[in-house]
Amino acid sequence: MPTATDRPYENLWDLRPKRAAEWERTGEGKTVILVPKFRHPLLARWVMPYLRRPYFRINLDDVGTAIWERCDGATTVSSIADGLQQRFGAAVEPVEGRITHFLRHLERGDLVTFDRS
């Protein structure tokens, strides 16, 4: 599997992130990403049904929720950043660093994929 260092240079702002994990919304309108405790097919099939809590729960704040909601595979990262600046103003500055760090972290965890076409 290629890593970020194996790929040729690509402009993150032109890519379109797409959610690759299950998620749910809390009563307060925030997002919780559900990450399975076991990803191996055999363990997922035979162990996870018997677990009391088969998922790790990642609770996102307001900014993370806003980014996650727009990771639909059609919206570019630059459009997401513009929307964050309009919605949150100076609270998300520096928006470039925040969104880059957040999306790369999600990509490393296989929670989001990028449409590179």
CB-based burial, 40-58: b 16+ in 10 Å, e otherwise: eeeeeeeeeeeeeeebeeb
- Give the model's pLDDT for residue 42: 74
Residue 36 three-state SS? strand
- Give the model's pLDDT for residue 53: 80
At 56, which amino acid appears?
F
Q: Give me the tens of pLDDT residue by residue for the chain, a chain 117 residues long.
A: 555 555 566 788 889 999 999 999 999 999 999 998 777 777 667 776 767 787 889 999 999 999 999 999 999 999 999 999 999 998 888 999 999 999 999 999 999 999 876
**Cβ contact 16:74 at 8 Å:** yes
- Give the model's pLDDT for residue 41: 74
**Cβ contact 14:78 at 8 Å:** yes
pTM summary value: 0.81
- Give the model's pLDDT for residue 37: 77
Q: What are the residue ranges spanned by the domains of the chain?
A: 12-112
Q: How far is CA 8 from CA 29, 94, 100, 115, in A?
A: 38, 26, 17, 15
- Give the model's pLDDT for residue 59: 96
